[in-house]
């Protein structure tokens, strides 16, 4: 079995489309910017595949949905929001140099979207293919999750075009991930005149941080990492409030339940302190079993292709948790996600476009 190499895929055309998308900045939570971005994505979809790309309005900004008609068989899944604030493009414009494309969002994940579209455009028949490009993946997919799950169930197979893992590997497993916020309320007092009259929220936060960090079990893939803390107002006031933010990653549903239960059971160490916990492991783990069937097909199409289980989450976590076969990391080969040195390897673009064409054909033959 080989990838769909008989049809021509133009690198120049892919780079032109990538430039179009990158130069419409799309920071998460900026609905106006995301509206412009969604229109740009829809325009590229329609120009390459024909038909109509619909904008699905949401509180987070528009999602883009397209269908090739017929009974749904495979969902092409991605997102158009990025982590970079408006103005990043002026400082770091789209460039093509020395075999790399650079600019905000080229790797995560506008390059993957472009490769998917051009791979699909190489096919004579697009029946059974759906595309969903969401507007809020980088901030938890709260407005898009129900739509993602609906279309994944309807299609029965999902190809996710997040950037590839190191060395171009596809992502065959992902940890479940979530964020917790522990808010602590104490009581203010003068730090010099009567510190004993206060309840020190910062001291309580220190106790909580140590207890929370101890929840990690890295030997089985569970990491519990306090990442942001704030407390206090002035240097002579016992702090009345403190906040601790915690990143959690787990590999199993059992660990998800254990960690969530442990956060819910947190209690104060200091008399008079109060604790409020918000958050959950919002993205369930993506087990490698969810990708096994599609990964085997991908390896037949592209001999030597490797797979990797990674710590980061994506919308593929949601679809895999439904029991829908899901293969992730099919997007750009490159690196530097969420960083100023983000890049895409140009020489890999055609191969990845051919891979999506082959996968779609194989899925529709099942």
Residue 49: HSE in the Cβ half-sphere, 13 Å Cα cutoff? 29
Pair of tokens at residue 98 = 């020395």
Q: 74: exposed, middle or buried (C-beta count within 10 Å: 0-12, 13-18, 19+)? A: buried
Block residue for tokens 């191969």 = 351
Which residues are known catalytic residues? 81, 137
């Amino acid at each position: 079995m080989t990838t769909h190499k008989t049809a021509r895929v133009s690198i120049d055309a892919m780079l032109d489309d990538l430039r179009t998308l990158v130069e419409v900045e799309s920071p998460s939570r900026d609905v106006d910017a995301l509206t412009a971005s969604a229109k740009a994505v829809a325009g590229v979809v329609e120009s390459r595949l024909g038909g109509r790309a619909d904008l699905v309005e949401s509180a987070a900004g528009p999602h883009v949905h397209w269908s090739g008609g017929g009974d749904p068989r495979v969902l092409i899944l991605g997102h158009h929001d990025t982590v970079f604030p408006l103005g990043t493009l002026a400082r770091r414009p789209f460039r093509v140099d020395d075999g790399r494309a650079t600019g905000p969002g080229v790797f995560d994940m506008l390059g993957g979207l472009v490769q998917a579209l051009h791979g699909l455009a190489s096919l004579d028949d697009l029946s059974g293919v759906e595309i969903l490009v969401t507007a809020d993946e980088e901030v938890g997919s709260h407005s898009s999750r129900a739509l993602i799950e609906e279309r994944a169930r309807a299609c029965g197979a999902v190809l996710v075009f997040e950037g590839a893992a190191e060395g171009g590997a596809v992502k065959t497993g992902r940890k479940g991930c979530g964020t917790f916020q522990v808010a602590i309320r104490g009581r203010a007092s003068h730090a010099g005149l009567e510190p004993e009259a206060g309840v020190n929220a910062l001291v309580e936060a220190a106790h909580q941080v140590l207890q929370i960090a101890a929840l990690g079990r890295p030997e089985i893939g569970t990491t519990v990492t306090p990442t942001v803390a704030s407390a206090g107002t002035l240097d002579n006031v016992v702090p009345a409030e403190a906040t601790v933010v915690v990143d959690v990653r787990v590999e199993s549903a059992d660990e998800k339940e254990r960690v969530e239960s442990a956060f819910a059971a947190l209690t104060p160490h200091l008399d008079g302190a109060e604790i409020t916990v918000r958050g959950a492991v919002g993205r369930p783990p993506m087990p490698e079993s969810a990708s096994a069937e599609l990964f085997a097909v991908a390896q037949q199409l592209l001999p030597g292709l490797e797979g990797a289980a990674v710590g980061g989450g994506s919308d593929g976590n949601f679809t895999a948790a439904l029991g829908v076969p899901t293969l992730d990391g099919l997007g750009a080969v490159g690196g530097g996600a969420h960083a100023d040195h983000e890049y895409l390897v140009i020489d890999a673009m055609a191969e990845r476009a051919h891979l999506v064409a082959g996968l779609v054909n194989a899925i529709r033959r099942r």
